[in-house]
A = this chain, B = another copy of it.
Amino acid sequence: MPDILDVLTQADQGFDISLRKLLEVIAIPSISSDPEGAPGIAEAADWLQRELTTMGLEARICPTPGHPLILAHSRPEDSDAGPHLLFYGHYDVQPVGEAEAWTKPPFAPEVIDDGDTQRFYGRGASDSKSQFWSFIEALRAWKTARARFPCRITVLLEGEEESGSESLPAFIETHRAELACDVAFICDSDMWSPDVPAITTQLKGLQHEKVTIHGPNPDLHSGYFGAVAVNPIRVLAGIIAGMHDADGRVAIPGFYDGVPDIPPALRRVWAGLAEAAHVLESTDLTGGVIEAGYAPLEAIWGRPTLDLNGISAGNLGPGERSVLPGSATARLSFRLVGGQEPQRIRALFRAFVTARLPQGCRAEFEGSEGSPAVVTPLDNPFMQAMSQALNEEWQQETIMKGSGGSIPLVQLFQDRLGVPCIVLGFILSTDAIHAPDEHYDVRRLQKGIRSWVRLLEKVCGLAPGAR
């Protein structure tokens, strides 16, 4: 085993600067789904292009019909031989959501000592700025310590992950030659627990839908018309109430077509993991209706869901307004498994809603293209290298896990680039991702960087074209 103490030492010595720079980029409000986020997106893209250039990559901002990607390559003359590695991350973040629910500012991170742990708070702190920052800083440490990169490197940072990655498929299609590589590392997943690393080998598909029920009238006075005119809130509530049955199953006809049983062997593995599942310990599941016949971990990793993400109609406050609203809107998402095809699920959903509309009402739908579920191959040298690197850094056996989350580009990379994807990351389900007071901690950032250094060391000796 070649000694990489020099690179690890370099990473540790440079860590204070690494952390300071990360806080700088977390402070940039790069919200992709809100039109008002555009200046933050542009500022973050500029900042990242400068950083990647400074550390020795050839980096450029690639415009798209949506938000730009940042694409960076190591120069051949700076790169040792070996396989070509692609590292993917996303620099856009979720909206702040309910601002009053944050106890820390969402875009002014500083390190706060919470007793045992040094944390920093901010939208994007865990999802996903600390994630891509960990491989960037590992690459920088290697380049600084050894004056060259360990092999050919491509870094791809996306700006639309939180808003549906709409520009990514076309970008990959038109840049297939430039993105050619031997493996893609997707750093956007979570650890098993604060001390146990994990690689995510199966992810759910995702289909967003927004439905607005329109009554035949505009807003009306609820006193005058409440007794006689249709109330879209009641219609929508009735439809939502019928979307699940008493056993927690989705009640849309045909929804489970193409959903495979969880293989008994996998059920046994997951049963063994369940006891130590941090995700289950950290969250109060009281009141939740888990699909009958499945353990919590099985439901999260292996069963499709319909999740209500938002609802709005009429008077949102403050104060009272005696209105009978003209329309009511729900936002929801499907998490898909197996062969569930997003467009088919969308059609089933829309038919389900439409069939339940009272006369005089109509439903208006909006939905993203959606992505199917994905399983990554386990039998390749990069997967072994990653697993070993994590084992060594964390001194714990890496867990091969499923996820309730979705990373649509995994399927895209595997299909269009024809390379294995390795999905991992160092966030935790307790980091309040997509929620108020999102945060990350200093220790995981440092050990994340060191994990990538170890990975580089293990793969740079592999032959080009190894799969």
* Residue in B221, B280, B289, B311 whose beta carbon sits within 8 Å of that of A429 in the complex: B221
Contacts of A433 in B (CB 8 A): 221
Q: A219-B436, A231-B308 are in contact. List 7 more A-B contacts (CB 8 A).
A: A216-B286, A221-B434, A226-B307, A233-B310, A237-B237, A311-B311, A321-B434
Give the dominant DSSP class at A's interface: loop
Copies of this chain present: 2
Which of A12-20, A146-154, A357-365, A375-383 lies at the binding interface? A357-365
Given contacts A307-B322, A320-B309, A320-B368, contact A405 B335 (CB under 8 A): no
Q: Which of A364-419 contact B (CB under 8 A)?
A: 368, 403-406
**Do B95 and A287 touch (CB < 8 A)?**
no
Q: Which of A211-238 contact B (CB under 8 A)?
A: 215-231, 233-238
In the bound assembly, the distance between CA atoms of A357 and B97 in angstroms comes to 25
**Do A283 and B220 touch (CB < 8 A)?**
yes
Task: Report if A300 contacts B (CB, 8 A).
Answer: yes
CB distance from A17 to the nearest CB of B (A): 31
Given contacts A308-B231, A404-B224, contact A320 B359 (CB under 8 A): no
Task: Report if A271 contacts B (CB, 8 A).
Answer: no
Interface residues of A (CB under 8 A from B): 32-35, 94-95, 97-98, 101, 162-164, 204, 206, 208, 210, 215-231, 233-238, 240-244, 279-280, 283-291, 296, 299-300, 303, 305, 307-326, 328-331, 333, 335, 357-361, 368, 403-406, 429, 432-436
30 contacting pairs across A/B (C-beta < 8 A) = A33-B319, A98-B219, A206-B223, A208-B320, A215-B284, A216-B284, A216-B287, A217-B284, A220-B283, A221-B404, A223-B307, A224-B403, A224-B404, A225-B283, A227-B291, A228-B285, A228-B300, A229-B283, A230-B286, A230-B288, A231-B288, A233-B308, A235-B287, A237-B238, A287-B357, A309-B325, A310-B313, A310-B314, A317-B331, A321-B434
